[in-house]
């Protein structure tokens, strides 16, 4: 099974004619993703390696029935791309772009919520359902199907966990990178709720980091919702010097909220097993399947 994307997903790429959009589109196709359209204003009627290009998302949806958007648009224009996707009725937009101004994202997220659609990201690696679909930049070769759901803020750490589990013979139902910016679409709680409803997901790995309070809110969801699947959590940034901003724009600590210890305490109280290293993640997951 899967969450958010599967073999039936029809993907369009906003920014397909850019360097990053073009490269990762071909990587997605190599993975087996059904990329049905690209969007690049002013280039409608052309094609990118056989993929038809449209001037607007609305035109692409009308012509191809696309239902997932991958957004590889430069930061000054990415919020508008997110809102265009939502306004066109795309159920899921996946924004990879890093460096979108925070005020732009406040406006874009509010618009997405009003449209009743979903946004993953920005500043995220995207998501993968092994053997079915990939939207984003997670490396192709590390993903294998299996019973573990993964949700993380850090792209690189998510890749390491995917690879470590795979090398130990434990594949994934889906791996979802929510991103590290202060203003995001889907949260840990949102993705945990999706995994709770997926019968094939037998265990979940949460990959968090210092800053913000999304991990604490995820812990509250586990504790109060009756979430009945084992959770293994890894929190990075434990050795970060106090008072220094580290890594993602969202890695900002306010008082006691957002510290590694506050996240560990909240997740421990919710019944999650806490891993100190990636190797611990693999060992703890194996012991819970």
Secondary structure (DSSP) of 194-232? HHHT-TT--EEEEEEESSSSHHHHHHHHHHHHT--S-EE
Instruction: Exactly one of 24, 103, 141, 248 is catalytic; name it.
Output: 248
Report the C-alpha gap between 148 and 121 in whole angstroms: 21
Report the C-alpha gap between 169 and 163 in whole angstroms: 10
| Token representation of residue 269 | 């109280």
Q: Is 141 a catalytic residue?
A: no
The DSSP bridge pattern shows strands 47-48 and 35-39 to be unpaired
Query: Order of strands, edge to edge, in the sheet holding 145-152?
Result: 133-136, 126-129, 172-177, 145-152, 203-209, 231-236, 273-275
Which positions ≥6 away from 236 have C-beta within 8 Å? 154, 157, 207, 208, 209, 210, 260
Neighbours of 5 (CB within 10 A): 26
* Catalytic positions: 248
């Amino acid at each position: 099974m899967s969450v958010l994307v599967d073999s039936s997903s029809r993907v369009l790429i906003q920014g397909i004619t850019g360097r990053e959009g073009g490269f990762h589109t071909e990587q997605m196709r190599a993975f087996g993703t059904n990329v049905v359209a690209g969007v690049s204003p002013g280039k409608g009627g052309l094609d990118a390696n056989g993929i038809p290009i449209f001037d607007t998302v609305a035109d692409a949806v009308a012509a191809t029935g696309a239902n997932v958007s991958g957004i590889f648009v430069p930061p000054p224009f990415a919020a508008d791309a997110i809102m265009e996707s939502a306004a066109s009725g795309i159920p899921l937009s996946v924004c990879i772009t890093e460096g979108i101004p925070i005020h732009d994202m406040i406006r874009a997220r509010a618009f997405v919520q009003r449209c009743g659609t979903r946004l993953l990201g920005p500043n995220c690696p995207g998501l993968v359902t092994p053997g079915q679909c990939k939207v984003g930049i997670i490396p192709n070769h590390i993903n294998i199907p299996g019973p573990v759901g993964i949700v993380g803020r850090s792209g690189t750490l998510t890749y390491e966990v995917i690879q470590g589990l795979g090398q130990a013979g434990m594949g994934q139902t889906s791996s979802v990178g929510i991103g590290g910016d202060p203003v995001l679409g889907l949260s840990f709680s949102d993705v945990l709720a999706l995994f709770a409803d997926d019968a094939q997901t037998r265990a979940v790995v949460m990959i968090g980091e210092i800053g913000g309070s999304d991990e604490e809110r995820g812990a509250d969801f586990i504790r109060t919702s009756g979430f009945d699947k084992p959770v293994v959590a890894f929190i990075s940034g434990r050795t970060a010097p106090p008072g220094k901003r580290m890594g993602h724009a969202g890695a900002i600590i306010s008082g006691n909220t957002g510290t590694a210890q506050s996240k560990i305490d909240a997740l421990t109280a919710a019944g999650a097993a806490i891993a100190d290293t990636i190797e611990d993640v693999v060992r703890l997951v194996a012991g819970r399947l």
